[in-house]
Amino acid sequence: MYKSLEYFLGHPQSSRNIMFTLLPAVSLVLALCSISVSATPLGRSTCTPNAQGAAVSIVSSADGTLKWGDANPTPTVGDVLSALSFDGDSPNFHVAQSGQFPTSFVINDVNNHALFVDSSTAGSLTFNTTSVDFDQGFQLFDITCQSCGSDTTPGQSAGSSCTVSPLGPFVNACVRIVKPDVSGLPLIVGSCEGSELQLFDIVF
């Protein structure tokens, strides 16, 4: 009787002892789990590019021979922007902070600063003058990159693997090329999918 009482009282005691013995191991496992969670791609840090007032090309990260451009040699209001051939030719845009908070960008034709890249035409990017669209955010873009640089030597990047997201009424919108290897197709605005076709390098 005494023995079995000791057994019943002693048993919880010893399992509690086991718990205390395991506790450091359990917390080590939990700590390792939280480290591996923060090392997943979702936790990867991002940056905001700074073109330092220099002209840039906006080059596809999926196909470095395609850049944002206007097929019209004299860009004008209403032109639709496309993915055009890029072979290291002169930069054709200015990408500047808008001065609005949170940080957003305006994107202008390099020669004609009155032309703003505009997302008000559904699904595409056009050149427009600054207008009521500016207040509605159609000419504001969020640009988030996986790495950023400050070397303005031609060919270096202010930002690499960047998503370009029109603000305005859009939620989770990203600019993308239609496909690699084909120049002349319009740039498209659609929902962000994490696709490489939606990544661009901001090249000096």
Ligand X SMILES: *[C@@H]1O[C@H](CO)[C@@H](O)[C@H](O)[C@H]1NC(C)=O
46 close to 146: Cβ distance less than 8 angstroms:
yes
Binding mask 36-75 for ligand X (x = CB under 6 A): ----------------------------------------
Binding mask 110-139 for ligand X (x = CB under 6 A): --------x-xx----x-x--xxx------
The residues in 159-188 that bind ligand X, with binding defined as CB under 6 A, are: none
Question: What residues does 160 pair with on adjacent strands?
Answer: 147
Q: How far is the CB of 50 from ligand X (least distance, A)?
A: 27
Distance, CA of 35 to CA of 44 (rounded, Å): 13
Q: Residue 11 or residue 113: which is nearer to ligand X going by CB?
A: 113
User: Residue 78, by phi and psi: left (phi above 0), alpha (psi -120 to 50) or beta?
Assistant: left
96 close to 108: Cβ distance less than 8 angstroms:
yes
Distance, CA of 128 to CA of 30 (rounded, Å): 54
Q: Residue 126 or residue 163: which is nearer to ligand X going by CB?
A: 126
196 binds ligand X (CB under 6 A): no
Which positions touch ligand X (CB under 6 A)?
78, 118, 120-121, 126, 128, 131-133
